[in-house]
């Protein structure tokens, strides 16, 4: 039974409230906070109501109080993750976690690049609502620490790096996260840069700007839906661990904003979600985010670079990085084109150096964009919101209550016209093709400034692809071109993405599965869209397995693998047997030269390439070798070839294995899960893949009908009651009916409430 207790107020806060079963503070106890001021002088007044599976619904009368409650609710599930991200973005990893080379490079980069001046400029671009919201967020986060410092999760209990923050630190966090998959990937090379003659260790950079992250999305319009209203399917494939985890949350200011969805666990607003009129989601886009510039140095002074007819000085930036036992002075070098970086492929010599420019680094439009997005009432409003250019590296897919579907890639992209792309490219041996290197000596090769763009140097929103329809759009991280194969989008700059090129197996899977439903002639319901994922069909195997089995004849060496594959149901469901054999086989076989019998045809991009070229003896032999290698790898790792998929792909939670359906997207899985491989166990831990999944439409009464799941659950903390509860649901193929209306929230049998007041 719950009981009534009294709790004193934090010395620095005035507060009063009623708490019911709060997760870390007074767990399982009904508490009334007594003896605290309840006068009208309280700056913040928020109500947080938790429904089943730990979903917080934050309600307030003003933007400051909304931020206050949002931060408190987020910290309740992710305080350790958020606090660590504060340390990363503010350059204190070395002091807080030890002075490794990796931490020192990160600290040096963030202290030199994400400056207080940059944060102040970003804050100046905020609306008054957003300024109040972020001040409230800081106060709410600090309030949580004050309330819970003695009862933090085990992962950060007693750690000095869980500390109060200010608005500068929150602002640095936001900017640092935005560039994490751009110039932030090069922090080691930027921190290591030094003029010729100074010692530089070997630097290996990771040039994959979006390592493993992606998404699926479908928007349906009224011509295809049974209700005549839009349906949105959102299925981002974000990390299962760390600051980019999603966190389900609902925010309300009566009469002004009522938006539910998911924020990033280290974020400060909902990134993907819905309201009473519109639903939206994002998928990582193919557009360019940054370029390198090759600098022509003054032969008499390698600290100067030519720009036009003049030489400019390379600026020396010294920063102090705190360590556990003092400070370390570090140096970063800047040009007007961006920071200088080095790697084994990009040395700083007497005549040449390289700088990196990021399209997101000085983009201050995100707060205006998402404020407008949260209050959008139609897909036209969504288009207007993202045209403010504050969407960083993703496509936007949306549907509305009136039956409109929408797709756009309006994201932060350098403005490089065809003259630049044709005349200014520089080849650097050892760099992947997706890294664009430009001539940094010519002003004609610099990013174009266009008065139509809200962000200097960025491509104007008007020049980026978008479309509205009453039929459908789909995106699975390929470019805009085939968002609807019946009406391809064409004629855009190649920096946004390729046209008339082969699509991935995952993109084709989504299009094929959707069109199978459409060809049946009946209009679609939300259940039909859910089934696209919940069937866990393996499109790659459906397309190719029969041809692969044709090489199995009279070969005893691979007989067992062939027998398993012959009986496999060609899904990645947890009870499926044989998925592991195909997974190991195709990871190798997909690299076989000339493997497809029918090559890609731009006139039939959904159905090509297809078939295995088994009539080609070299391909046939290579397929047999790949099967042999797959069988051997599994046997060497102690993985039975016909063991149920859920027994070999799983998440471990407090000593319990939870089976996880799905598989690699690059192999043709629409239900995408990517893992590490552990000998003796299998495909675990889960790295990224299906995460916050939502299917949203509207009922006859006009109210949102939203169902969803957060595959890895609300909290990453092992001592949280919401560490794996939704993960178990996901394993069983169950989703939540998301409680959005007041009636739905109040009817939840697990309702817990916190009334939070303070200054």
Rounded CA gap, 689 and 237, in Å? 4
Rounded CA gap, 236 and 218, in Å? 11
CA distance to 118, 316, 579, 692, per residue, from 625 (Å)? 55, 55, 18, 38
Question: Which of 343, 415, 733 shows the shortest CA–CA distance to 575?
Answer: 733
Please give the DSSP secondary-structure letter assigned to residue 145: H
Rounded CA gap, 476 and 480, in Å? 10
Q: What are all long-range contacts of 584-589, with beta carbons under 8 Å and residues at least 24 apart?
A: 584/629, 584/630, 584/631, 584/633, 584/634, 585/548, 585/561, 585/626, 585/627, 585/629, 585/630, 586/540, 586/626, 586/667, 587/630, 587/664, 587/667, 588/626, 588/629, 588/630, 589/548, 589/622, 589/623, 589/626
CA distance to 155, 174, 243, 455, 730, per residue, from 160 (Å)? 12, 22, 19, 38, 36
Confirm if 667 and 583 have CB atoms less than 8 A apart. yes
Indicate the burial class of 379 (C-beta count within 10 angstroms; 0-12, 13-18, 19 or more). buried
Question: Annotated catalytic, 215?
Answer: yes
Question: Which of 314, 379, 325, 382 shows the shortest CA–CA distance to 352?
Answer: 314
Question: Which DSSP helix (H) or strand (E) runs through 399?
Answer: strand 394-400
Neighbours of 604 (CB within 10 A): 12
Confirm if 714 and 51 have CB atoms less than 8 A apart. no
Rounded CA gap, 631 and 635, in Å? 6
Asked if residue 370 has a cis previous peptide bond (ω within 30° of 0), the answer is no
Check 65, 122, 215, 378 and give the catalytic one.
215
Question: Which of 265, 259, 276 shows the shortest CA–CA distance to 241?
Answer: 265
Residue 334 has, within 13 A of its CA and on its CB side, a CA count of: 12
Pairing of strands 55-60, 17-20: unpaired
Rounded CA gap, 483 and 475, in Å? 6
> CB within 8 A of 520, min separation 6: which ones?
none
Q: Is 504 left (phi over 0), alpha (psi -120 to 50) or beta?
A: beta
Ranges of H-type helices in 424-551 = 505-519, 526-534, 539-549
Neighbours of 680 (CB within 10 A): 7
Catalytic residue positions, numbered: 215
């Amino acid at each position: 039974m719950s009981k009534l207790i009294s709790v004193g107020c934090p010395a620095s806060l005035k507060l009063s409230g009623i708490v019911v079963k709060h997760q870390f503070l007074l767990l399982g106890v009904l508490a009334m906070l007594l003896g605290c001021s309840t006068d009208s002088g309280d700056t913040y007044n928020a109500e947080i109501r938790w429904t089943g599976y730990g979903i917080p619904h934050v309600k307030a009368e003003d933007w400051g109080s909304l931020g206050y409650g949002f931060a408190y609710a987020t910290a309740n599930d992710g305080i350790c993750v958020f606090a660590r991200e504060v340390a990363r973005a503010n350059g204190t990893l070395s002091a807080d976690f030890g002075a490794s080379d990796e931490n020192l490079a990160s600290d040096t980069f963030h202290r030199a690049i994400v400056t207080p001046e940059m944060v102040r400029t970003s804050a100046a671009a905020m609306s008054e609502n957003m300024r109040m919201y972020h001040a409230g967020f800081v106060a709410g986060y600090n309030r949580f620490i004050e309330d819970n410092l003695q009862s933090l999760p085990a992962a950060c209990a007693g750690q000095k790096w869980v500390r109060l923050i200010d608005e500068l630190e929150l602002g640095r966090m936001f900017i640092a996260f935005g560039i994490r998959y751009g110039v932030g990937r090069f922090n080691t090379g930027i921190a290591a840069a030094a003029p010729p003659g100074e010692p530089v260790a070997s630097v290996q950079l990771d040039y994959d700007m979006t390592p493993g992250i992606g998404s699926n999305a479908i928007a349906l319009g009224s011509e295809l839906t049974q209700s005549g209203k839009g349906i949105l399917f959102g299925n981002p494939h974000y990390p299962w661990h760390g600051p980019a985890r999603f966190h389900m949350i609902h925010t309300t200011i009566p009469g002004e904003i009522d938006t539910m969805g998911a924020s990033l666990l280290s974020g400060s607003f909902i990134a993907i979600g819905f309201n009473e009129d519109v639903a939206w989601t994002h998928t990582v886009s193919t557009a360019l985010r940054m370029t390198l510039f090759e600098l022509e140095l003054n032969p008499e002074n390698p600290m100067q670079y030519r720009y036009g007819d003049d030489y400019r000085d390379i600026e020396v930036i010294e920063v102090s990085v705190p360590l556990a036992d003092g400070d370390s002075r570090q140096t970063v070098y800047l040009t007007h084109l961006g920071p200088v970086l080095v790697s084994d492929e990009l040395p700083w010599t007497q005549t040449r150096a390289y700088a990196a420019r990021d399209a997101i680094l000085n983009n201050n439009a995100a707060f205006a964009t998402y404020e407008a997005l949260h209050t959008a009432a139609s897909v036209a409003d969504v288009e207007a919101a993202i045209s403010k250019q504050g969407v960083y590296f993703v496509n936007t897919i949306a549907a509305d209550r009136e039956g409109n579907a929408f797709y756009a890639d309006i994201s932060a992209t350098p403005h490089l016209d065809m003259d630049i792309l044709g005349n200014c490219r520089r080849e650097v041996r050892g760099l992947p093709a997706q890294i664009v290197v430009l001539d940094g000596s010519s002003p004609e090769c610099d990013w174009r400034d266009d008065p139509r763009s809200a962000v200097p140097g960025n491509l104007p929103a008007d020049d980026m692809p978008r479309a509205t329809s009453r039929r459908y759009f789909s995106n699975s991280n390929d470019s805009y071109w085939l968002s609807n194969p019946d009406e391809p989008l064409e004629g855009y700059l190649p920096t946004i993405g390729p046209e008339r090129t082969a699509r991935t197996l995952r993109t084709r899977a989504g299009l094929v599965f959707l069109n199978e439903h459409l060809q049946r002639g009946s209009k679609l319901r939300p259940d039909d869209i859910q089934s696209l994922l919940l069937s866990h069909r393996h499109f790659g195997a459906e397309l190719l397995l029969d041809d692969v089995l044709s090489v199995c004849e009279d070969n005893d060496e691979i007989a067992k693998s062939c027998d398993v594959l012959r009986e496999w149901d060609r899904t990645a469901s947890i009870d499926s047997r044989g998925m592991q054999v195909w997974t190991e086989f195709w990871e190798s076989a997909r690299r076989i030269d000339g493997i497809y019998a029918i090559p890609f045809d731009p006139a039939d991009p959904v159905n090509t390439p297809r078939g295995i070229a088994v009539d080609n003896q070299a391909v046939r032999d290579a397929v047999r070798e790949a099967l042999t290698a797959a069988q051997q790898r599994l046997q060497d790792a102690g993985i039975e070839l016909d063991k149920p998929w859920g027994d070999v792909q799983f998440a471990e939670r407090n000593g319990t294995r939870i089976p996880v359906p799905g598989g690699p997207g690059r192999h043709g899985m629409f239900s995408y899960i990517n893992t590490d491989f552990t000998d003796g166990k299998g495909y675990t831990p889960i790295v990224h893949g299906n995460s916050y999944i939502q299917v949203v439409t509207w009922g006859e009464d006009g109210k949102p009908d939203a169902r969803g799941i957060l595959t890895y659950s609300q909290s990453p903390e092992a001592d949280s009651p919401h560490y794996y509860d939704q993960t178990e649901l996901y394993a069983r193929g169950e989703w939540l009916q998301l409680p959005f209306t007041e009636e739905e929230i109040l009817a939840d049998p697990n309702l817990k409430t916190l009334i939070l007041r303070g200054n």
